[in-house]
Structure 1
Amino acid sequence: MPDRRARLAAARLYLVCDARGDGRDLAAFLDAALRGGVDLIQLRDKRGDDEAILRAAPLFRAAADAHDALFVLNDRPDLVAETGADGAHVGQDDIGVPQARVAVGDDRIVGLSTHTPAQVDAAAQDDVDYFAVGPVHATPTKPGRPAVGLELIEHAASEPRRVPWFAIGGLDATTLPAAVAAGARRAVVVRALTAASDPEATARALRAELEAGVGAA
């Protein structure tokens, strides 16, 4: 997939989901979210073992392929080739970016979480293809990680960045507008879609909010 980075550059809405889809029909849920405008899906399963990840990965891969989207693994660069993922996302306390790059290769993408201005600035110069900025708000998906607020979004948006970046953390229909006003043009969501009664409509509304920000920039 030689256009991975071009797809990434055009991406606006990024969904993180575990291997169970919070009890939903996982394939149907992913299809609905992608129909609504999700560009990138991440399989993040802190409780699952390798077998669970490998079992769920084909559903993510098939859903991404059906909608011309990207599929990324969380924290597991070592399984990227086996799952056919487009890349991996790592945190500040996970495997380092250089090691992740070696594991996934130059043709696939590497993303990185950032939580401070220094980390944002370093990521913009590092060998990453995108980075996430947050958590903007406290969220149960990141227990023990304090919210960074909108100031870090404003910092990330204060100057042009070499690679795309996404706001993350407690973003939904009520909180996304403030993040967009602070300068976010891309967002990562979890519960906003996994807990939505209509994930397709919710994804469509979230994407529209992001695109409105792009149009106003």
Structure 2
Amino acid sequence: MSPSGTDRRARLANARLYLVCDAHGDGRDLAAFLDAALRGGVDLVQLRDKHADDDAILAAAPAFRAAADAHGALFVLNDRPDLVAATGADGVHVGQDDMPIAAARDAVGADRIVGLSTHTPEQVDAASAAGAAGTIDYFAVGPVHATPTKPGRPAVGLALVEHAASAPRAVPWFAIGGLDTTTIGAAAAAGATRAVVVRVLTGADDPEATARTLRGALEVRVGAA
């Protein structure tokens, strides 16, 4: 592993708050929004836009890359390992129904990050094993609550968060799904020390302050652990 791969994984290990955003910042000024969220404590930003073509993703990527670089954060691309090099992303996130994780790893190489979504206890345990094998670098657990960003995916509740927290895991994991300033505390109490968020920040009047509140809830859990 090169120094760049080691650095990415060190930053991932220290990450708490992960923002997923589309190519347009939900109608906001994208660069200003990302800067505010990162100032508030976001450690990872993911470009996820199921409706964007390759040109739109490539056009949006520099704003994500610049914001991440300005704040020492990581930039991850959703479901497009083939565009990771072209966008300058630090890695890729794939779902259970996307390409196999081994194929994603082969596509992005050893020095970039691969993340995986999980929705059941069996998938959580398999992801932890894949992390131990070096195939993935982190996984997401959820959706904890129903969310329109995952249509058709039923909420798993806090039980899956508790399962993920019930044993040491080989790689970092993040709770995801309907987490906001009113629900993040319960997820943290169930064992989550990291979280992925979308609408709570993209729809916030003050993304910086909201990110700071979310991160604070997670850090309370880290301090109690």
TM-score range, shorter chain: over 0.9
Q: Equivalents in 2 of 1:107, 1:22: separation in Å?
A: 31
Matched, 1:193 2:193: no
Residue equivalent to 1:177: 185
Q: Give 1:213's match in structure 2, choosing from 192, 198, 221.
A: 221
Q: Report matched runs for 1:6-155 at 5 Å.
A: 6-126=10-130, 127-155=135-163
Q: Percent of aligned positions with the same letter in both sequences? A: 80
Which residue identity is paired with 1:177? Answer: G
> Structure 2-normalised TM-score?
0.96
Which SS does the other structure have where 2:84 is aligned? helix
Matched, 1:203 2:203: no
Q: CA RMSD in A?
A: 0.4
Gaps of 5+ in 2: none
Deviation at 1:119, TM superposition (A): 0.2
Q: Equivalents in 2 of 1:124, 1:215: separation in Å?
A: 23
Deviation at 1:55, TM superposition (A): 0.2
Which SS does the other structure have where 1:156 is aligned? helix
Deviation at 1:158, TM superposition (A): 0.1
Aligned length: 217
Q: Equivalents in 1 of 2:220, 2:190: separation in Å?
A: 13
Residue equivalent to 2:175: 167
Q: Equivalents in 2 of 1:169, 1:50: separation in Å?
A: 26
Which residue identity is paired with 2:161? Answer: I
The ranges of structure 1 where at least 4 consecutive aligned residues each deviate by more than 2 angstroms after the TM superposition are none
Gaps of 5+ in 1: none
